[in-house]
Amino acid sequence: TERAWTEEFEEANRGFAGLPYRVHCAPGNHDVRWAPMGPLGFKRHIGPVRQLFTHRGCAFLILDSTVPLSHWGHVGGPQRRWIRDQLERIGRDTPVFVFLHHPVGRGSGVDDDEALAETLAPFNVRVIFTGHGHSDLLWNWHGTAVTMGKGLYQGSYQHARVDTLAGEIHVSRRTADDPSLTRFLAVPLAPATAHAHEPAHAHEPEHAHAHEPEPDQLPYVWRHPLGGGVMSRLLLDGGTLFVSAMDGSVNAIRADDGAPIWRAGTGDFCHSSPVLAGENVIVGS
């Protein structure tokens, strides 16, 4: 959708109903960016924001990289734990194709993509399909081929075909400039070797791995692990630090040494900052 309005979701469902095949959707930033209820509209009208299904020996992993009220992408600790559990269930040799809206290994994409890379590393991930950047691109990320689709309304789409006899997946692209499907990527279904995959056509743009962050310049006083990322301001009151996280938790931590005081769960993500009202801590979820 453009603005996550109910009528937009309904129009999408009418379009899907006229197709001769089933459609699986990954949410994008426009589906939550201006939505008062965040991803709830997508869940109610379209379906789950993340899912894993298998078909003919392959696994298809659809992820939610959206952040309410935000343009960038984030996977988050709770979803990474879900990914690990789901992929462990199907086995580490099953070919996996990953779909998410925001790109990984590129700017304006997923801000915790290195943590996602660690989660995916033990499994046989063959291709990652992304969008968001409105460009037709192909690059290598930690030895895995990643594609970006420009946009269907811009005359571009991709078609992937699994050739079990050849033991490969072939990915082709149609663009407004070249309306014929042209193969630009061939990837073996078997687990990757030490060599990164090379794109089928040299003219396709390639991009190097994301740069590793610089070592921390400031010493840590203490660390306290949280169940999800923090998208809100921290609240310091006396000797207590209050933190809300995207796993739906509100945490009270002792400020001098990081020791936990208490932790409460809200049932869904916390995108807002905690405030004090007398003896109560209030947070939006």
Convert the pLDDT of each residue in 165-194 to its tens digit.
Answer: 999 999 999 999 999 999 999 999 998 664
The average pLDDT across 74-81 equals 92
Q: In this predicted model, which residue has the larger pLDDT, 107 or 139?
A: 139
The average pLDDT across 3-20 equals 93
Cα separation, 15 vs 71, in Å, equals 26
> Bridge partners of 281?
276
| CA angle, residues 170, 110, 57, in degrees to nearest 5 | 35
Average pLDDT over all residues of the chain:
89
* pLDDT score recorded for residue 214: 59
Task: Write out pLDDT tens, residues 220-266.
Answer: 899 998 988 888 899 999 999 999 998 899 999 999 999 999 999 99
